[in-house]
Amino acid sequence: MFGGVEGGGTKFVCAVGSGPEDVRYQISFPTTTPEATIGKAIEFFRAVQAHTPLAGVGIASFGPVDPEPTSPTYGYITTTPKPGWAQVDFRGPIAAALGVPVGFDTDVNGAALGEHRWGAARGLDTFAYLTVGTGLGGGGMVNGRLMHGLLHPEMGHIMLPHDWEADPYAGYCPYHGDCWEGLAAGPALEGRWQFKAEQLPPGHPAWYLEAHYLALGLVNIICILSPQRIIMGGGVMKQAHLFPKIRQKVQSLLNGYVQKAEITQAIDEYIVAPGLGDRAGVLGAIALGQAAAEAARGT
């Protein structure tokens, strides 16, 4: 059995299991202070450990984080604008309390690993996983390994063409204003249209502009990464009507340049929702726990 912590800016989900068909225990609670929230996660896993041994625990965290195991701040949440959560050691207290191997990565890399093991990225070695929710983030794999480098990808903060006449909304990113996240994550929809994203009806002009921004970002990711598939999750993507709008815009922006049938003919299977649905995040965290256990065993 493995534990998983999906640490979100709004809520935490903790679960214990071995895969999508076998999630034994699960709990969810709002994200408050780091001490109280991380403490609740520890309490949950300790209660499970009293009767069920855990071979590893995975943490898939909102970011930015330090994912570099040799760094003195490995497992920390770093420069987040979320009050109280900057420079917080997320992994350390959990590893100390539970005494098992603890894997740690971004929420989107966690979800990508889960999708690779059990979902829409099975059999692929280079793909992107994006979430469009309270923020906009991306991760995934290159050549079969989760994307790391200098830090981890910050796909949500790429810069896009912004036609200020057509869209005078300045964007909400505290660092960049109108980066991709600033223009296209859930709070941007609310800031621009004065309605929560979930309240905007499918035919509303908001969704055509949203599909335009999402497609612009995807075209950049396609050109830089050459992913074999792009998986899009998060609250905003629950609007299923966005998928056909995005796919069509991606095709028209690429304008026939990338000549692969996946894009020109079978784009419905190229830009897709998570195979694990709403559970991609927490199952991804369990997958990180499984990977940590495997790494500790040297397998």
CB of 186 to ligand ADP, least distance (A): 2
228 by DSSP, 3-state: which?
Answer: coil
Residues 152-171 as x/- pattern, contact with Zn ion by CB under 5 A? -----x--------------
CB under 5 to 8 A by kind: which of Zn ion, ligand ADP, none does 179 bind?
Zn ion
Q: Give the residue closest to ligand ADP by C-beta.
A: 186
Taking CB under 6 A as the rule, does residue 239 contact ligand ADP?
A: yes
Cα 61 to Cα 180: distance, rounded to the nearest angstrom: 20
CB under 5 to 8 A by kind: which of ligand ADP, Zn ion, none does 63 bind?
none
**Phi and psi dihedrals of 142, rounded to 5?**
-125, 125
CB of 33 to ligand ADP, least distance (A): 17
Binds ligand ADP (CB under 6 A): choice among 236, 271, 291, 292:
236
Taking CB under 6 A as the rule, does residue 182 contact ligand ADP?
A: no
Give, for 22, the enclosing helix (H) or strand (E).
strand 22-30
- Secondary structure of 156-168 in HEC code, one letter for each residue: HHCECCCCCCCCC
Residue whose CB is less far from ligand ADP, 16 or 197: 197
Taking CB under 5 A as the rule, does residue 82 contact Zn ion?
A: no
Binds Zn ion (CB under 5 A): choice among 38, 97, 147, 173:
173
**Phi and psi dihedrals of 60, rounded to 5?**
-115, 110
Taking CB under 6 A as the rule, does residue 197 contact ligand ADP?
A: yes
Segment lying near ligand ADP (by CB under 6 A), choices 41-49, 71-79, 80-88, 230-238: 230-238
Can you say how many angstroms the Cα of residue 108 is from the centroid of all Cα atoms in its chain? Answer: 3
Taking CB under 6 A as the rule, does residue 9 contact ligand ADP?
A: yes
Taking CB under 6 A as the rule, does residue 10 contact ligand ADP?
A: yes
CB of 157 to Zn ion, least distance (A): 4
Taking CB under 6 A as the rule, does residue 280 contact ligand ADP?
A: no
Segment lying near ligand ADP (by CB under 6 A), choices 79-87, 206-214, 236-244, 283-291: 236-244
Q: At what angle do helices 91-98 and 34-49 cross, to 10 degrees?
A: 30
Cα–Cα distance list, 92 to 100, 189, 192 (Å): 12, 36, 39
Segment lying near ligand ADP (by CB under 6 A), choices 8-16, 92-100, 224-232, 244-252: 8-16
Q: Write the CB contacts of 218 (distance below 8 Å, at least 6 apart in sequence).
A: 230, 246, 250, 271
Alpha helices in 119-241 (DSSP H): 180-184, 186-193, 205-225
Residue whose CB is less far from Zn ion, 148 or 176: 176
Binds Zn ion (CB under 5 A): choice among 179, 197, 230, 237:
179
Residue 187 corresponds to which tokens in the numbers above? Answer: 């709070």
Cα 5 to Cα 290: distance, rounded to the nearest angstrom: 12
Cα 186 to Cα 237: distance, rounded to the nearest angstrom: 10
Burial 84-121 (b: 16+ CB within 10 A, else e): ebeebbbbbbbbebbebbbbbbbbbbbbbbbbbbbbbb
Residues 109-148 that bind ligand ADP (CB under 6 A): 133-134
Q: Which residues bind Zn ion (CB under 5 A)?
A: 157, 173, 175-176, 179
Binding site for ligand ADP (CB under 6 A): 8-10, 133-134, 186-187, 196-198, 234-236, 238-239
